[in-house]
Amino acid sequence: MVHNQLQEHPARGALIRVRGFDNEDYHYPVRTGEKVELREEVDGGPPHVTYRSIEDLKNPEYWSLRQPYINIGIAHSLNVAPHEESLEGLHLAAALGQGFLNTIRQHWKLTPIWTWIESTLTSLNLEVDIRKVIGMGCGELTDRVDLRQKWRGAARHALLLQLAEYLQRSAPENARVACYENPGGFLQMDGTSLVFSSDADICVKQIIADIARPAILILNTVRDITQGHAPPNLSDPDSPRVLQMIHMEYDQLPFPYDRFHNFPDMSMYVRKGCYAGNRTSLSEQATASRA
């Protein structure tokens, strides 16, 4: 419906009709070319796809007359554009962010969590060549977030880079292991991928359940709230089809405890039939590392 209307190149002020899940029509004005007075110039950046889970839509706290009752949309992120005289400072900040990540990565190689992950991947004796490492919800390394969030983002990016480096060492000659993030990561998900997601603000688990069966998933532990567990993150809930996918198609390994809470309540899920290692011994190793 929306696509067909946009093909007519509507002028600014024209209304776009959107049909919601409640079968009602909502109308939104075209704002192309509109100028907004702000204290500073902003850079909208490229458009990206946004998602809202069904559980999120059902929550009255998130209802708003400003958006239609649908779970997918297209949006721009508004970032404050730097003044010309601050470009040098911007490049310095980027370099410092990279340096911060490199420092955290060198330290992270020595942590018990990475030791367990490396040992587990080796012991799994995988029967599939993982060529893609996909990260969702890894956080930022910029000064727009506080130091605690920056540490968490650095630890998660360090994990992705370490995973890619490890898999590259065991990859066939001339094969390349690549890293992807949102939104391109969704297009790359398949049976030869490893997906990491923690505290995502989009419904990563539900999307995976619909489109792919990665070889390995490192996710916030999937729980069935009907069994008395706490309500899930509404942005990335454990829906019935997520529970069915995990319980029927994956084996679960408990993730080591992280006292710094960079990886809260995580589990590693390995697709059944793609490894030859002993799951019982691996679970015992993880339990010991959590002690």
Domain ranges across the chain: 2-80, 88-290
- The number of beta carbons lying within 10 Å of the beta carbon of residue 139 is 19
Q: How many CB atoms lie within 10 A of CB 142?
A: 13
| Entry field: residues in the chain | 291
Q: Tell me: the pLDDT tens digits for 31-80?
A: 777 765 554 545 555 666 676 677 666 766 656 655 566 667 766 655 54
Report the range out of 26-30, 49-53, 227-231 with the highest average pLDDT: 26-30
pLDDT in tens, 216-227: 999 999 998 777
Residue 83: band (very low, low, confident or very high) from pLDDT cuts 50, 70, 90: very low
Residue 30: which pLDDT band, with cuts at 50, 70 and 90?
A: confident
pLDDT of 116 reads: 92
- Contact status, residue 93 vs residue 82, Cβ threshold 8 Å: no
**Residue 107: CB atoms within 10 Å:** 13
Count CB atoms within 10 A of the CB of residue 7: 8
The CATH architecture of the domain made up of 88-290 is 3-Layer(aba) Sandwich (3.40)
pLDDT at 35 (0 to 100): 65
Could you tell me what percent of the chain has a pLDDT over 90?
Answer: 31
Who's near 7: CB < 8 A, 6+ residues apart?
Answer: none
Residue type, 153: G
Q: Tell me the pLDDT tens digit for each residue of 159-211.
A: 999 999 999 988 877 778 888 887 788 889 999 999 999 988 888 999 999 99
pLDDT over 70 (residue 82): no
Backbone Cα Rg of the chain: 22
Torsion angle of the four alpha carbons 178, 181, 186, 191, in this order, in degrees rounded to the nearest 10: 30
The 8-class DSSP code of residue 85 comes to G
- What lies within 8 Å, CB to CB, of 38 at 6+ separation is none
Integer angstrom CA distances of residue 183 from 180, 188, 189, 202, 241:
8, 10, 11, 11, 22
